[in-house]
Amino acid sequence: MKLNGVIVEDTFAEAFGMKAARSVVPACDAAWARHAGLAATGFATSVIGCGCEAGIEAELEAAQTPDGRPGVALLFFAVSTKELTKQIERRVGQCILTCPSTAAFAGLAEGEPLPMGKSLRYFGDGFQIAKVIDGRRYWRVPVMDGEFLCEETTPMAKAVGGGNLIFVAGSAPAALAAAERAVAAIRRVPGVIAPFPGGVVRSGSKVGSKYKALPASTNDAWCPGLRGRPARALADDEDCVLEVVIDGLTAEAVAAAMAAGLRAACEVAGLRRVTAGNYGGKLGQFHFRLREILEQSP
């Protein structure tokens, strides 16, 4: 099919089950909340090398946070409960506890509880104080600007990682413009993140490598500089490929984000086609078919 003259290939993005947690981090103003959010979600593009995938889901008004201050909602995704627990403890402890004026609250209503303040309270060296409000336990940890308030646990939910869109363009500026428009649209969808820098990844990967130590390597079929190879997936007038990867709390959220991103990208002149990455349906249990998500989403 075509959308605004751009070919949308009849294929699907193959995504995987993950574990996710959501944290709400308010601060004295939006700028400091964002400082904390950016630090806590840094170096979290891919579980291949970062341990988790994370990002700022949304910037929140004062009325949307538990303590009535502006804040951010953060999403963290990992492949196991053990890894997600470790990542939350490290990232909240090193990047939110340390940031002036912040607090940390659970962002999901239900799920298996993972320790947050339960672990971080020990930084208080015995001066920490517990407080139970409406059946939820919080820890008040003394710090040099007053106190750090942190909810004891944060729920973990089943989630989806690895939804994706691949943009093939006639030039690098066109590919980047399409990807940027897609990311802007995706960020308006609740419950999702695009974890790579600016939401965009240029180093699309394939499973495996000629080098045994690597679980993944460059997706050579999509590299414009490797011309004349039988496995090449690009036409002669296609000179740049960029990808957007999407993680979400539900399959429905990922599908909605992919549809929004796809529609936005197809408004860019110079975009030739949109496709998606998959492994033949053999590895991931979630298959997001591009034509179907466009037909099902307004």
Instruction: Show the domain range for 226.
Output: 2-14+160-296
Say what the pLDDT of residue 247 is: 98
Instruction: Tell me, yes or no, whether 218 and 256 share the same domain.
Output: yes
Say what the pLDDT of residue 111 is: 97
In the chain, how many domains are there? 2
Q: How many CB atoms lie within 10 A of CB 198?
A: 11
Angle of helix 172-186 relative to helix 251-265, nearest 10 degrees? Answer: 140
Instruction: Pick the last residue of a domain from 157, 192, 207.
Output: 157
* Residue 133 banded pLDDT, cuts 50, 70, 90: very high
Instruction: Tell me, yes or no, whether 169 and 153 share the same domain.
Output: no
Instruction: Pick the last residue of a domain from 120, 140, 157.
Output: 157
Instruction: Pick the last residue of a domain from 157, 181, 216.
Output: 157
Which pLDDT tens digit goes with each residue over 64-77? Answer: 999 999 999 999 99
Report strand pairing: 112-115 vs 216-218. unpaired
Say what the pLDDT of residue 169 is: 98
Q: For the chain, give the percent of residues with pLDDT over 70.
A: 100
Instruction: Tell me, yes or no, whether 184 and 78 share the same domain.
Output: no
Instruction: Tell me, yes or no, whether 186 and 246 share the same domain.
Output: yes
Decide if 165 contacts 276 (C-beta within 8 A). Answer: yes
Instruction: Tell me, yes or no, whether 249 and 177 share the same domain.
Output: yes
pLDDT over 80 (residue 60): yes
Instruction: Tell me, yes or no, whether 153 and 56 share the same domain.
Output: yes
What is the total residue count of the chain? 298
Instruction: Tell me, yes or no, whether 114 and 133 share the same domain.
Output: yes
Q: Output the domain CATH number for residue 38.
A: 3.30.70.520
Say what the pLDDT of residue 124 is: 98
Instruction: Tell me, yes or no, whether 173 and 258 share the same domain.
Output: yes
Average pLDDT rounded to a whole number, residues 136-143: 97
Decide if 117 contacts 138 (C-beta within 8 A). Answer: yes
Its pTM stands at 0.95
* Residue 230 banded pLDDT, cuts 50, 70, 90: confident
Which pLDDT tens digit goes with each residue over 185-228? Answer: 999 999 999 999 999 999 998 888 999 999 889 999 999 999 77
Which pLDDT tens digit goes with each residue over 149-165? Answer: 999 999 999 999 999 99
Say what the pLDDT of residue 141 is: 98
Instruction: Tell me, yes or no, whether 145 and 185 share the same domain.
Output: no
Say what the pLDDT of residue 265 is: 98
Instruction: Tell me, yes or no, whether 105 and 171 share the same domain.
Output: no
Instruction: Tell me, yes or no, whether 105 and 182 share the same domain.
Output: no
**What mean pLDDT is reported for the chain?**
96
Which pLDDT tens digit goes with each residue over 82-123? Answer: 999 999 999 999 999 999 999 999 999 999 999 999 999 999
Instruction: Tell me, yes or no, whether 287 and 187 share the same domain.
Output: yes
